[in-house]
Amino acid sequence: MTFIKTGCCMRCDEPAFEILTYQGEEDFYPGEPKKIGRPLEGSIRVGVLLLDNRRADITLCAACAPVFGPQDYGPLWAKIIRSWDREMSVITKTSERPQWFADAYSNLILAEIGRISWKELVDGAIR
Ligand SMILES: [Zn+2]
């Protein structure tokens, strides 16, 4: 069972950005990336449309970019929910869950609506 990690591919957990530092024992998730740098070559941001009409952004590494498709939507949405659940358990240390979290169980990824390379995005922002 895996969780979404800072700067990593949301499909396979490999880095999608340079990992500059890792979390220590004093942090919430020891051993996981803490500070990230530049996007790695080929990393992309995929926009997806959700059933409730909202959109979300998915980060993928160069290896997952060409193979990501509808077969990944279910497992990825489950991973996102699992990661929110972990965040609430570890960071806010509560077992209570807000309504939006309950609603997320009946939501899902419907369709991909666009892709952009992270490098293009980051370089565009500082141009
Ligand atoms: Zn990947």
* pLDDT cut 70: percent of the chain above it: 98
Q: What DSSP string runs through 73-118?
A: HHHHHHHHHHHHHHHHHHTS--S---HHHHHHTT--EEEEEEEEEH
**Residue 121 DSSP code:** H
pLDDT band at residue 127, thresholds of 50, 70 and 90?
low
Structure pTM? Answer: 0.91
What's the CA-to-centroid distance between 99 and ligand 1, angstroms?
31
Cα separation, 74 vs 30, whole angstroms: 28
- The DSSP call for residue 21 is E
Residues that place a CB less than 5 A from ion ligand 1: 9, 11-12, 61, 64
pLDDT higher than threshold 80 for residue 126:
no
Cα(94) to centroid(ligand 1), Å:
31
Average pLDDT, rounded, for the chain: 94
